[in-house]
C-alpha cells in the first residue's frame, strides 16, 4: 500500500505544481499596443503626448477598472516629469463598465526646459483585466528624439554654443550681418561714407581708407553691441522701447526722406560742417578717427530700421540668456558683418567710379530701393502699432500716388523711346492705380473725411453677437437633485488679479499657487510695466480676444506690475520664474509645476491661444 500512496502523492503534487504554473500563463496573456507620439520629436520645454491604443484579443473586452499604463525611459533615468492623469479617448459601455474593442488613451507628461537633446528609448507597459476577470499585460518599446523646437530659447542658445562653440556661433551671427548689409538702408549710407572717408582714401591710399572705414564701422557696431548688452541685463525693456511710437515715428519719417532721395527729389550727402570737419587739415589724426567713430554710431542708428525685424529678434534672443557679455559680442559681431560693404566702399572708393552714376540700370535700382524704403516706413507705423487703420490706409494711398509721380508715371515719352522707359512708365501707372485702390478701399472700409458707406456691412458677421452672447457653463446641484447648467456671459477681457512691486508679492504668489494646486487649476501670470509697449499691446490685441478670454476662464490669472524699480523681492521672483524682460507670461500647470518652456513674451492671439490650450 505504501508504494500506491507514494505514487498518488507524487501525482497529486505534480498536478498542483502544474496548476500553479498555469496561473502565470493565464495572467501573462498579451494585448497589442500601438503608440503614436503627437509630434515627431519630444520638444524640450513642452509636453510629451502619446496616443496609446490597447488592442485585446478577439472576442474579449478590457475592463475600465484597474487598467494601468506606465511609460518609462530605458536605463532608469527619465527626461520627462510626473505624468498627467490619463485621458480616455474611447467610450466605455456603461452596462459592463468595459471598452468594446480597442481602447485609446492620451498620455502626457511635461518635458523639462533644462534637458539636453538625446535619443530616448521609451517603454510602454499595460496592465489590465478583461471583462471576464482574466489579467492581461502588454509591452511596447521604441526610440524618440528629444530636441528643441523651431523657436529659440536661452537653453537652445546655450546648447548650440556648447555643441558648436562660441566661435562658430559668432561666425554665424557675422554671416547674418553680412546678409543684412544688402538691405536698402545700407545703400543710402554710401554717399555719407564717401563724404566722410572716400576723398581721403583717394588722396592717401587704400591703407588709410581701410583704417578710417574700419573705425567707422566699429562705431556702427558699437551701437548694436550696447543694445545687446542692455537687452541681456536690467534694461531688458530696450526691445520694447525700440517699438515705441516715440522711436518708430521718427524712423518712419527718416525712411520716407531717404526714399525720396532715391527717387531724385534731393541728393543725400553729409552736412557741410561734417564734410569740412572730416576732409580738412588733420582729419586723418586722432580727432579724425574719433569723429569717424562718432559718425559710424550715427550710421548705425540710421541703418537699424531696415534690419529692424532681424535686429529685434536678435535682441530678444540674446535677452533670454541674461548674459551681457554674449549680448555685447553677438551684436558687435552682427554690426561688423553688416558694415563690410561700407568698409569696402571706404577703402576702395575708386571702384565706384566704374558704376553708372545716373540713368540706366542704376537709376532703376535706386527707385526700387526707394519703394522698399516706403514699404518699410509704413511697416513700422502699421495699424495696431502706431497709426489707426482709418488714417494709415489713406496715407498709404496718398504716398503711393506721390511715389508713382516720382517714378515717372506721368512723364512724357519721346516717340523713339525704347522698351525699358515704356516699361518703367507702365510700372509707375500700376503704382498709381494701387494708390487709388488704397484711397478708395480705405474710404469704403473705414471712411475718409466722412463716415464709411459700408460701415454697417463691413463688420464681420456674428462678431457683435459672439461678444454679447458667448457663454461658459457651470454646474450646480440643488438638494442633491439633477445637475443644472448655468450660462454665464463672458467678460470683454481676461480678468486679472493685479499686484504691484513692493506689495509682498512673493507670499501672495505662493498663496495663489497653493490655492490653484488644491483646486486642480493652472495659473497664468503676466509680468508687465507701464513703459512696456508690447505689454500694452497684449492688453489691446490678445487679452480681449473672445477665444482667449474663454480659455482663460479655467486659469487663475495674475498680473504683476513691475513698473517700479525692482526691489530685492521682485528680483528674486524674476529669477525664480526666469523673467529676462517684459512682457513675460508665465504658466504653471494644475499640479503646481512652473512650465518654463511654455513662458512667452508677446504673441499674437492665435499663438497665445495655442500655448494656453497646451497647459494642463
* Residues above pLDDT 70, as percent of the chain: 67
Check: CATH 3.40.30.10 for 491-614?
yes
Supply angle C-alpha 155, 157, 158, rounded to 5: 65
Report the predicted TM-score, pTM, of the whole model to 2 decimal places: 0.60
Q: How confident is the model at residue 343 (pLDDT cuts 50, 70, 90)?
A: confident
Dist CA 244 CA 55 (whole Å) = 58
The string of pLDDT tens digits covering residues 213-253 is 888 889 888 988 887 777 666 554 555 555 567 667 776 77
Better pLDDT: 368 or 549: 549
Q: Is the pLDDT of residue 365 over 80?
A: no
Range list of H helices, 77-144: none
Structure confidence at residue 473 (pLDDT)? 47
The string of pLDDT tens digits covering residues 256-283 is 776 776 666 655 554 454 445 544 444 4
Q: Is the pLDDT of residue 506 over 70?
A: yes
For residues 583 and 599, the answer to whether their CB atoms sit within 8 Å is no
Contacts of 200 by beta carbon, 8 Å cutoff, 6+ apart: 208, 209, 212, 278, 279, 283, 284
Dist CA 595 CA 615 (whole Å) = 9
Structure confidence at residue 451 (pLDDT)? 61
Cell numbers that stand for 54 in this block: 490597447
For residues 55 and 34, the answer to whether their CB atoms sit within 8 Å is yes
Structure confidence at residue 463 (pLDDT)? 37
Q: Is the dihedral of CA 463, 465, 468, 474 positive or negative?
A: negative
Q: Is the pLDDT of residue 478 over 90?
A: no
Q: Is the pLDDT of residue 534 over 80?
A: no
Mean pLDDT of the region 423-451: 78
The string of pLDDT tens digits covering residues 567-586 is 788 888 888 888 877 788 99
* Span of 92-101, 132-141, 155-164, 281-290 with lowest mean pLDDT: 281-290
* Residues above pLDDT 90, as percent of the chain: 18
Structure confidence at residue 327 (pLDDT)? 80
Dist CA 298 CA 192 (whole Å) = 11
Structure confidence at residue 556 (pLDDT)? 95
Q: Is the pLDDT of residue 172 over 80?
A: yes
Structure confidence at residue 264 (pLDDT)? 65
- Identify the CATH number of the domain defined by range 31-147: 2.60.40.10
Q: How confident is the model at residue 313 (pLDDT cuts 50, 70, 90)?
A: low
Cell numbers that stand for 3 in this block: 508504494
Dist CA 177 CA 137 (whole Å) = 58
Q: How confident is the model at residue 112 (pLDDT cuts 50, 70, 90)?
A: confident
User: Strands 47-55 and 103-110, how do they pair?
Assistant: antiparallel
Structure confidence at residue 96 (pLDDT)? 86
For residues 475 and 483, the answer to whether their CB atoms sit within 8 Å is yes
- Residue that is written with C-alpha cell 496548476 in the block: 19
The residues facing 93 across adjacent strands are: 98
Amino acid at each position: 500500500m505504501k508504494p500506491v500512496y507514494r505514487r498518488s502523492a507524487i501525482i497529486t503534487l505534480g498536478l498542483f505544481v502544474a496548476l500553479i504554473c498555469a496561473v502565470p500563463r493565464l495572467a501573462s496573456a498579451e494585448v497589442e499596443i500601438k503608440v503614436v507620439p503627437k509630434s515627431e520629436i519630444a520638444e524640450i520645454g513642452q509636453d510629451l503626448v502619446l496616443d496609446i491604443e490597447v488592442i485585446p484579443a478577439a472576442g474579449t473586452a478590457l475592463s475600465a477598472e484597474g487598467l494601468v499604463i506606465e511609460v518609462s525611459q530605458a536605463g532608469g533615468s527619465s527626461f520627462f516629469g510626473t505624468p498627467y492623469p490619463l485621458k480616455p479617448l474611447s467610450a466605455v459601455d456603461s452596462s459592463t463598465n468595459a471598452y468594446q474593442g480597442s481602447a485609446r488613451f492620451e498620455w502626457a507628461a511635461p518635458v523639462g526646459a533644462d534637458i539636453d537633446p538625446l535619443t530616448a528609448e521609451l517603454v510602454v507597459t499595460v496592465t489590465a483585466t478583461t471583462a471576464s476577470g482574466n489579467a492581461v499585460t502588454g509591452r511596447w518599446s521604441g526610440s524618440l528624439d528629444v530636441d528643441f523646437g523651431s523657436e529659440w530659447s536661452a537653453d537652445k542658445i546655450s546648447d548650440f554654443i556648447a555643441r558648436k562653440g562660441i566661435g562658430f556661433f559668432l561666425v554665424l551671427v557675422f554671416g547674418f550681418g553680412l546678409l543684412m548689409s544688402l538691405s536698402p538702408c545700407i545703400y543710402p549710407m554710401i554717399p555719407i561714407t564717401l563724404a566722410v572717408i572716400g576723398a581721403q582714401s583717394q588722396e592717401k591710399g587704400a591703407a588709410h581708407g581701410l583704417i578710417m572705414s574700419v573705425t567707422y564701422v566699429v562705431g556702427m557696431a558699437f551701437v548694436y553691441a550696447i543694445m545687446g548688452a542692455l537687452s541681456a541685463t536690467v534694461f531688458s525693456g530696450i526691445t520694447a522701447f525700440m517699438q515705441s511710437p516715440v522711436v518708430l515715428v521718427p524712423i518712419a519719417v527718416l525712411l520716407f526722406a531717404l526714399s525720396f532721395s532715391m527717387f531724385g527729389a534731393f541728393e543725400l550727402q553729409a552736412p557741410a560742417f561734417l564734410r569740412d570737419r572730416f576732409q580738412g587739415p588733420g582729419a586723418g589724426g586722432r580727432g579724425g578717427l574719433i569723429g569717424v567713430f562718432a559718425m559710424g554710431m550715427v550710421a548705425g542708428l540710421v541703418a537699424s530700421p531696415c534690419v529692424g525685424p532681424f535686429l529685434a529678434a536678435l535682441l530678444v534672443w540674446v535677452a533670454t540668456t541674461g548674459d551681457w557679455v554674449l549680448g555685447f559680442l553677438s551684436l558687435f559681431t552682427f554690426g561688423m558683418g553688416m558694415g563690410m560693404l561700407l568698409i569696402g566702399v571706404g577703402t576702395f572708393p575708386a571702384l565706384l567710379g566704374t558704376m553708372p552714376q545716373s540713368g540706366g540700370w542704376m537709376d532703376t535700382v535706386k527707385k526700387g530701393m526707394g519703394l522698399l524704403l516706403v514699404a518699410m516706413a509704413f511697416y513700422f507705423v502699421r495699424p495696431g502699432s502706431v497709426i489707426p487703420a482709418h488714417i494709415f490706409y489713406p496715407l498709404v494711398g496718398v504716398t503711393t500716388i506721390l511715389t508713382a509721380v516720382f517714378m515717372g508715371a506721368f512723364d512724357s515719352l519721346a516717340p523713339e523711346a525704347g522698351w525699358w522707359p515704356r516699361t518703367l512708365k507702365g510700372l509707375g501707372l500700376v503704382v498709381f492705380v494701387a494708390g487709388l485702390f488704397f484711397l478708395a478701399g480705405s474710404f469704403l472700409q473705414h471712411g475718409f473725411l466722412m463716415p464709411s458707406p459700408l460701415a454697417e456691412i463691413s463688420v464681420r458677421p456674428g462678431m457683435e453677437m459672439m461678444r454679447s452672447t458667448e457663454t461658459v457653463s457651470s454646474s450646480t446641484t440643488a438638494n442633491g437633485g439633477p445637475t443644472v447648467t448655468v450660462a454665464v456671459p463672458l467678460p470683454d477681457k481676461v480678468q486679472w488679479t493685479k499686484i504691484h512691486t513692493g506689495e509682498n508679492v512673493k507670499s501672495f504668489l505662493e498663496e495663489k499657487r497653493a490655492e490653484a494646486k488644491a483646486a486642480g487649476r493652472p495659473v497664468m501670470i503676466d509680468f508687465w510695466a507701464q513703459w512696456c509697449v508690447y505689454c500694452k499691446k497684449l492688453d489691446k490685441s490678445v487679452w480681449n480676444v473672445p477665444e482667449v478670454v474663454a480659455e482663460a476662464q479655467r486659469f487663475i490669472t495674475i498680473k504683476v506690475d513691475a513698473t517700479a524699480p525692482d526691489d530685492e523681492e521682485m528680483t528674486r521672483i524674476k529669477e525664480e520664474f526666469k523673467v529676462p524682460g517684459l512682457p513675460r507670461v508665465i504658466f504653471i500647470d494644475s499640479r503646481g509645476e512652473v512650465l518654463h518652456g511654455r513662458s512667452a513674451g508677446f504673441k499674437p492671439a492665435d499663438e497665445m491661444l495655442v500655448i494656453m490650450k497646451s497647459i494642463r
